[in-house]
Amino acid sequence: MTSSTPRHRPDLVIRAASIPRPDGPEQVDVAIAAGRIVAVQRTGNQLQAADAPVIEAGVPVIEADGAVISPGLIDLHLHGGFGTSFGDGDPDGIAVLTENLARRGISTVQASLVSATTEQLDAMITAISGAVGSRPGRATIAGIHLEGPFLSQDQAGAHDPAALRSPTAADLELIAAEADPLTMITLAPELPGVPELISRCSELGIVAAIGHSNGDQDDFDAGVAAGASHVTHLWSGQSTFTRRGPWRVPGILEASLASGLTAEIIADGKHLPPTLLELARRSVADRLVVVSDATPGAGMPEGYRYPLGTVHCRVQDGVGMVDGQQVFGGSTTLLDEMLRLLVQDLGWPLHEVLAMMTSTPAAVLGRSDLGVISPGACADLVLWNPDLTVREVIIGGRRLGRDDQPR
């Protein structure tokens, strides 16, 4: 394996890092320049080859000594953490949140918003838009994910049922006006006007994700025909099969598992038991995406209280719970913790889990420059200790905590 972009002078070289592969780890050297990966070669090959970067004296070298290297983790579904919600729109809180995420090896996220009125969504999108993009030492906000309000009241989960509705003309105007920062919308295809909205999302380059839906196979198929390409958190907010006389009719869950769409799981060990996680792994395979669905309660102590829109939640037994109900209020677990759970506790292959957190979510976003270790890709990288805790993080080619000093 030898690959490189045209000749560069690296800013940083990582030597003897291990990329997990299906047939075993591959030890590589990685050269970085101007925030991009410029060469990846097997350790022992000469990076000074004719078309490879020139390494001069004084170029920093990280001796990985065989440590696992991966792209930075990508979370498509994250509402907040460390006491901050993206919906608050607080620049200082978002800065602290994204700095803390970067320390955990999470380099890219979608800022997810819960259901609200058109006016409230407009205000939240406006407040967050300025934070979309990359910042030194922070996780990049790739865009904004509207989880609702075009969801089924029967599958509301932690969303306020009073906020859920079919799309209005005002909603369509808002989405068209804010198409640039919007990257995903979760919606229920059985609601009036939603298939048309899905088609409009496709035209605008916004990923339409099916979720919080009480529909059936026909509704799912109508959503896919209109342009839906992704499924929001399997089992959570999804109808299952029903019977019409002797006939079994697939619900959104079964339709999702049998489809060719990418689909999410919340792998916090709370939302789904190991059997369902394994069923998702076998059914969805290389289209499976691990998301946190993390809330402001992530990184906060037991008993911490936080809002999800107008719904009040608390951290209880390591997960978010809606006050006064036996309903999950999002998770309090971040992707790096889910990585350890899936690999160490459930025995999933490391290369598979990393793909679920890097290259597959990047593909959902249509970002070929993210989630891979190859020339031309963003130099967002993580070195992992043997216990899969973070050893070192590189964001945009800069060593976190060395080149940048986060708060």
Q: Residues forming the annotated binding site?
A: 147, 212, 233
| 227/272 Cα distance (integer angstroms) | 28
Q: Can 404 be counted among the known catalytic residues?
A: no
Please work out, in degrees rounded to the nearest 5, the angle formed at the alpha carbon of residue 80 by the alpha carbons of 376 and 69.
Answer: 35
The neighbouring-strand residues paired with 248 are 243
| Tokens linked to 92 | 């200082």
Provide CB contacts within 8 A for 244, sequence distance 6+: none
| 231/159 Cα distance (integer angstroms) | 17
| Tokens linked to 290 | 């691990």
Q: Is 404 exposed, middle or buried (0-12, 13-18, 19+ CB in 10 A)?
A: middle
328, 125, 168: which is closest to 236 by C-alpha? 328
Asked whether the CA dihedral 37, 39, 41, 43 is positive or negative, the reply is negative
Helices (H) and strands (E) in the chain, counts: 10, 24
Q: Which residues are annotated as a binding site for Zn(2+)?
A: 147, 212, 233
b/e code 144-166 from CB counts within 10 Å (16+ = b): bbbbbbbbbbebbbbbbeebbbe
> Are 294 and 81 within 8 A, CB to CB?
yes
- The single residue of 171, 293, 336, 380 carrying the catalytic annotation is 293
| 30/15 Cα distance (integer angstroms) | 7
Which residues are catalytically annotated?
Answer: 293
